[in-house]
Each structure stands twice: as structure tokens, then as C-alpha cells.
Amino acid sequence: MHDIVLIPGDGIGPEITKAVTTIFQEAKAPINWIECSAGLSAHEELGNPLPEETLEAIKKYRIALKGPLTTPVGASFRSINVALRKKFKLHSNIRPAKTLPHIESRFDNIDLVMFRENTEGLYIGKEKWIQEDEHAESIAVVTREASEKIVRAAFEYAKNNGRKKVTLVHKANILKYTCGLFMEVGEQIAAEYPEIEYEDLIVDNMAMQMVMYPNKYDVIVTTNLFGDILSDLASGLVGGLGLTGAANIGDDAAIFEAVHGSAPDIAGQNKANPIAFLLSSLMLLEYIGEQEVADTIRQAIYETLADKSVCTPDIGGSGSTTTFTEAVCERLA
Ligand code: NAI
Ligand code: MG
């Protein structure tokens, strides 16, 4: 049995969490969930969006599955997702976008893996408001250390998974020092992996290239903000945010979550697609060495996708979160 911290989160979080725990139980996945709270719900119930017990639990058990957390726009608390990534030094945000069987999307055979730097860039929260002349400032920080970690993680992944190419995405023409450093690190590390093709692209061009020719890309590595945006774009290429999982990996802890957010527009309506969160939880199983049960659940999900009457509306189905969950469980039984 593995002790894993479970944070259901906000919005659709509790619904997709229920799908994962139900399916894991049916598959006899050897997991003992340690349930903790965080996000807007924790803020409202406990007066703290990131309770000390949650931090202690992640520190102790080191691995967590986390539902989406709502971050209010404007002057309320800052993102708990960003705080967790910083606190536990989760330097690599790994976001695969892969064409799934029986899912219609604009392209076939997409198999991209995005490596997003996860702790710095424009997301460090060093923003200020200057009242006298009404202006706002935001500072971006890029360090050699964090850049090396994410770029090396991308190349190691490529090497260990038979991938052919790494594409580094930047804006070094305008952001000469921050993106310039990121790109310099990319070139240095690429030289250590001569068997893997390396290229760099400016982010605006990359946005167009991904929409026009997504099959040209394989492993992508980029800074925090660009990775945030391009990973939603990559999700769109394979059928939407309901279908892409993610892993936040650090040296001492790992937190698995979906790419998507708390989807307040559909929360509580039994419409949320649980597949993205399920795929995140399969990444978790693989990370802790439970490959076999991960494969079994993945197979059951893939087979279930053939029956649109049980799938959620975002992927053209006429079912719900619970009908999909039940159908996967039936295949596992
Ligand atoms: P979102 O990702 O929650 O939703 C974008 C659109 O995709 C919505 O129309 C939603 O209904 C749909 N969608 C997302 N997940 C889906 C699923 N599993 N099944 C079916 N449809 C799905 O992005 P939005 O609306 O910009 O953000 C909502 C909240 O989530 C914000 O407070 C934001 O800060 C937070 N957020 C949290 C993240 C996290 O916890 N890692 C990541 C992204 C956003
Ligand atoms: Mg995002």
C-alpha cells in the first residue's frame, strides 16, 4: 500500500476525485488516500487556502493527487497551485497531449510532451502597484539552475522514451536576458545529447506551428507562462481540456493534477470529464512503480471511449461523470 495525499479541490474537483477513487478501488490499486484540503473551499471553510496540515501531509508522504484549485482574479489570495510548486520545488511540469482512441479532433496521431518550467519566470508573484502614476510592475526571474533542471528533464525523458526531437520555445528576441538565458542553457544541454534533434522556436511562431503542423513536434520545453498557455493549446489539439493530465515533479515531492482548472461553469452538474484527472492519476501510479494497474485502468478507459452514450458532453458524449465512471468500473470488474 502506498500512502498518497489526496486534495479534491474546488469546482469540479470533488466530482472528478470521486471518479478516480471509485475506479482505483475497482481496479484494486494499492493506494491508501490521505485526504487533505486546499484552495477556495479551504479558504471559505477554514479561513486558510493552504492549511498547515495539508503542507505537513505533503512533506510527510511526498506524493499527492490534487484536484483543481480556484484562484480568484484580483486582490484575494494568490494561487495555491503556484505556492505548492514553489514550496516543494516542483521544478518540472510535464504535460503530455496524446491522441486517444475514439476521440474526434482536428488531427490524428498527436503525441506531444510539454516540459514547462514550474517555479519561476513571470509567475513568482513579484508584482506591485504604484498608485501615484497608476502603473503596475511584474518581475520575471529566470535562473540557470531552474532552466537546467527543466531542460535536462526534457532531454532525459526524450532519451529514455525513444523520442527524436526536443523543441525549446522562448521569446529571446524581446526578453533578451530571461529568455536569452533559458535558450543558452538549452543549447548547452542539447550538445550533451547529440542523438536527439534540437531546435528552438519563438513562442508566437510556435503557437501557429502547433495549430497548423502539430505532428512536427515531439518533446517541447519552455518557460512557465508560455508552457501554461501552450499546454492548454496542446490539449485543444487532442480534444480538449477534459483529456490531458499532468505531473509536477520535484527532487523531494511530486504532485499530480489535470491541466484544466476548476471549471466553475459546469461544477456540480455531473458533466465534468474525469479522464484528464484519471490520466494524471495514472502518471502517479507509474511514478510509484505501479505500471501494471496503470495499464489495466488505461485500457479500460480507452475501451470505454468507444461508447459515446456513457461519455461526457465535452467529447461528444451523451453521458455524465458518473456514467463514464461506472462504465470503466464494469470493464474492470
Ligand atoms: P478551466 O480549465 O477550469 O475551464 C476552461 C473551460 O474548459 C471551461 O469551459 C470548462 O468547463 C472546460 N473544462 C475544463 N475542465 C473540464 C473537464 N474536466 N471536463 C469538461 N470540461 C472541462 O479554466 P478557467 O475557467 O479559466 O479557470 C477556472 C478556475 O480554475 C480559475 O479559478 C483558475 O485559476 C483555476 N485553474 C486552476 C488550475 C489548477 O488547479 N491547476 C489550472 C487552471 C485554472
Ligand atoms: Mg493553466
pLDDT, tens digit, 9 for 90 and up, residues 319-329: 999 999 999 99
What residue owns the CA closest to ligand 1's atom 41? 68
The share of the chain scoring above pLDDT 70, in percent, equals 100
At residue 106 the predicted structure's pLDDT band, cuts being 50, 70 and 90, is confident
Nearest to 141 by CA among 179, 171, 114: 179
Task: Return the pLDDT at 137.
Answer: 96
Assign domain 1-94+243-333 to its CATH architecture.
3-Layer(aba) Sandwich (3.40)
Residue 74 confidence (pLDDT) = 82
Question: What whole-number distance in Å separates Cα of residue 119 and Cα of residue 248?
Answer: 10
**Atom nearest to 67 CA in ligand 1:** 40
Domain boundaries, the chain: 1-94+243-333, 106-237
Q: How far apart are CA 71 and CA 225, in angstroms?
A: 16
Q: How far is the CA of 194 from the centre of ligand 2 (A)?
A: 32
| pLDDT attached to residue 76 | 82
Is the Cβ–Cβ distance between 231 and 97 less than 8 Å?
Answer: yes
Q: How far apart are CA 7 and CA 53, in angstroms?
A: 12
How far lies 180's CA from each of 148, 168, 200, 252, 299, in Å?
A: 13, 12, 12, 29, 43
What pLDDT does residue 211 have? 97
Question: Could you tell me the distance, in angstroms and rounded to a whole number, from the CA of residue 12 to the centre of ligand 1?
Answer: 9
Give the model confidence (pLDDT) of 24-83 as tens digits: 999 999 999 999 999 999 999 999 999 999 999 999 999 999 999 999 998 788 999 999
pLDDT tens per residue, range 245-279: 999 999 999 999 999 999 999 999 999 999 999 99
Q: How far is the CA of 82 from the centre of ligand 2 (A)?
A: 11
Q: Take atom 1 of ligand 1 and give the residue whose Cα is closest.
A: 261
Closest CA to 49 of 275, 276, 262: 262
Q: Please state the pTM of the whole predicted model.
A: 0.97
Distance, in Å, from the CA atom of 137 to the CA atom of 127, rounded to the nearest integer, reads 5
290 Cβ contact partners less than 8 Å away, ≥ 6 residues apart: 2, 29, 30
> Which CATH code is given to the segment(s) 106-237?
3.40.718.10
Query: How many CA atoms lie within 13 Å of 147's alpha carbon, on the beta-carbon side?
Result: 23
Model pLDDT for residues 155-199, shown as the tens digit of each residue: 999 999 999 999 999 999 999 999 999 999 999 999 999 999 999
Angle at Cα 209 formed by Cα 206 and Cα 212, nearest 5°?
Answer: 155
- CB within 6 Å of ligand 1 — which residues? 12, 68-71, 81, 241-242, 257, 260-266, 272-273, 276, 314
Looking at residue 254, what is its pLDDT?
Answer: 98
Q: Give me ligand 1 centre to Cα 262, in Å.
A: 5
Closest approach atom of ligand 1 to CA 12: 18
Rounded Cα–Cα distance for residues 247 and 267 (Å): 23
Q: What is the pLDDT of residue 161?
A: 96
Pairing of strands 165-170, 219-222: parallel
The closest-lying atom of ligand 1 relative to the alpha carbon of residue 260 is: 2
Rounded Cα distance between 272 and 322, Å, is 9
The owner of cell 474546488 is: 10
**Amino acid in the structure at residue 142:** V
pLDDT at position 221: 98
